[in-house]
Structure 1
Amino acid sequence: MNAPAGLDRQARLLRRATLASVVTASVLIAAKLVAWLLTGSVSLLASLVDSLMDVAASIINLMAVRYALEPPDAQHRFGHGKSEALAGLAQATFIAGSAVFLVFHAVDRLLHPVPLADLEVGIVVMVFAIVATAVLVAIQRHAIRHTGSTAIRADSLHYLTDLLTNVGIIAALVLAGLGWQGIDPVIAIVIAVYIFWSAWGIGREAFHVLMDRELPEAVRERVTALALGHPEVRGVHDLRTRQSGLVKIIQLHLELDAWLPLREAHAMAKQVEREILAAYPEADVTIHQDPREVDGSRSRS
């Protein structure tokens, strides 16, 4: 069975965003490595290590998204979407590790100061990094807006913090050029704290996805409203939702008049399913029909 056109477009956006992330991180690593070797700035080293973590995380993302887009099979009937959340956890681990490394290196530089050189080169490289990162974040935001991808959202969050830290590094290099050499490791420590905080956010989001957290309340309310909008539906209960990659898993029970023939009850459930799919084309919808008695009571099922 062919995937819906909407899912094909989402898949293309995800592949494009992950590839752009890998390419951007790789280019920035080369530029920052040259700048660090020329300047000796620990802030630039912080940014270089961050980019190394970026490219590792982006490669993990690339593989995870490709796997997540694989169709369901006999062993994975709900698809492979949770591989995105696993990639998010891997990113959080990489990022947190880089933050710890940077703190140790910055503290060592505070205790054993080293004069910086070729600061102009470092500033030019960081301006280039800001421009390249901004372009990548724009590509990622476009993909997130149309897919809601957990892995891309995690990657984009990290690159957004990169934009802020790159500005901080430029400030450190400028101040160092004005004679404030000691500010360089201090800003590196601030960057490390930022990196660790972003790792915490990424890991928490991935954990919630793996633990099948419910979809946002606005989605649940709309699903309920769509079901109750059918004139023959007497009630909705046991609504359960979760996200798996691009797919929203939606399960609910419809309360219908007990005297309805099975054929009619089934037709009503299919109508509700079509209306939910019209609102959420990427959803996997399962509806159970429960009979409601004349006195308003319903069966326990």
Structure 2
Amino acid sequence: MKATDDRKEFERASWVNVAGNATKVVVEGAVGVVFGSLALVADAAHSVADLVASVVVLVYGGASYDEADATHPHGHGRLEPLAALFVGAVVALLGLTLLYESILGVVRGPDVDVEGWRLMLATLGFALVSMYAVYRYTVRVNDRIGSTALHALARDCMNDVYTSVAAAVGVVGVALGHPILDPFAGGLVSVLVVYQGVEIGRENVDYLVGSAPTEGKQEEIHDAAVSHPEVRGVHDFKAFYEGTEIEVEMHAEIDGEHTVYEAHDIESEVVDRVRAVEDVGDVHVHLDPAGIGEWSDEG
């Protein structure tokens, strides 16, 4: 039931991002083209990438909530960081393109209509307020469901706020009789866009390649296992990301005199304790009789 509710909230937040980015593209793009502002065009083009990314998250990110099946026995959890990785790649590539255009604008000189600065500034104000509202909504939803794809979209929304402020600096420069600030602002926007895209991609690559969680998280998982009164020690411990969740494998040593039924109950209890750790998904515990000298990190 919770998975169904989470998926509905995920899709609703994704649609809000799609609508917010589409509106920003149309409004900023039209005003930027009419008045020849590189800063506005750069900000609008950034939102084109955001729009594509939010559509990808909507279509493919939601599939991460599908149940495991014969072709995906571990579920579809890796689709979500894959969608987030796409967000980062698109944003970074577009940022590089915009940086190139901004450099050309500085070299060739600006071609911006100084008479339109009021409308341009009002447009950026609208974009800033609307994207901040989308950001707050996305963060509020993601605080409940913990989606890496929504986290990427939320970070990109906040990036939109920063880029709109940077673009506004260029427009203010135009109003004050320094139109060269417009392509400079476009370049600053582009650098921010590239940085954000790289950061989003770097974070989600770890989820996709099965990296280990932090040492602190591994210690938390280990401590949860040995907190069971019947567990004498743990060895062959492994914790790694399977999508956005942590999969755990371990051997736990217990008294060898336990019956099979008792050992089964102990194993189930250990699994439950480890699964109670935040972000942990599947847990695989193999029980060994204590005292045979097999373990490598006895408690």
Equivalent residues of 1:81, 1:244 under 8 A apart: yes
Matched with 1:166 is: 164
Matched with 2:217 is: 219
Alpha-carbon separation, structure 1, partners of 2:8 and 2:215: 28
Deviates more, 1:40-49 or 1:8-17: 8-17
Question: Structure 1 residues 165 and 272, CA, compared in 2 at 3 Å: closer, same or farther?
Answer: same
Tell me the SS of whatever aligns to 1:255: strand
User: 1:55 deviation in Å?
Assistant: 0.4
Question: Structure 1 residues 217 and 281, CA, compared in 2 at 3 Å: closer, same or farther?
Answer: closer
Alpha-carbon separation, structure 2, partners of 1:177 and 1:299: 72
Alignment of 1:146-161 (within 5 A): 146-161=144-159
Question: Structure 2: any 5+ residue segments left out of the alignment?
Answer: none
Matched-pair identity in %: 25
**Paired residue for 1:19, among 15, 21, 24?**
15
Matched with 1:267 is: 265
Matched with 1:82 is: 78
Give CA deviations for 1:123-180 in whole Å, capped at 9, x if unaligned: 1111111111111111222233233322222222222211111111112111210101
User: 1:97 deviation in Å?
Assistant: 1.9
Alpha-carbon separation, structure 2, partners of 1:126 and 1:115: 16
Equivalent residues of 2:109, 2:180 under 8 A apart: no
User: 1:273 deviation in Å?
Assistant: 1.7
Matched with 1:37 is: 33
Alpha-carbon separation, structure 2, partners of 1:99 and 1:299: 51
Matched with 1:276 is: 274
Equivalent residues of 2:135, 2:157 under 8 A apart: yes
Alpha-carbon separation, structure 2, partners of 1:185 and 1:51: 18
Equivalent residues of 1:249, 1:283 under 8 A apart: yes
Equivalent residues of 2:274, 2:280 under 8 A apart: no
Deviates more, 1:6-15 or 1:136-145: 6-15
Alpha-carbon separation, structure 2, partners of 1:120 and 1:39: 11
User: 1:267 deviation in Å?
Assistant: 0.8
Give the TM-score taking structure 1 as reference length: 0.90
Question: Structure 1 residues 20 and 217, CA, compared in 2 at 3 Å: closer, same or farther?
Answer: farther
Alpha-carbon separation, structure 2, partners of 1:239 and 1:61: 34
Tell me the SS of whatever aligns to 1:118: helix
**Paired residue for 1:205, among 191, 203, 206?**
203
User: 1:291 deviation in Å?
Assistant: 1.7
Matched with 1:297 is: 293
Equivalent residues of 2:248, 2:280 under 8 A apart: no
Q: Which amino acid aligns with 1:298?
A: E
Question: Structure 1: any 5+ residue segments left out of the alignment?
Answer: none
Q: How many corresponding residue pairs? A: 294
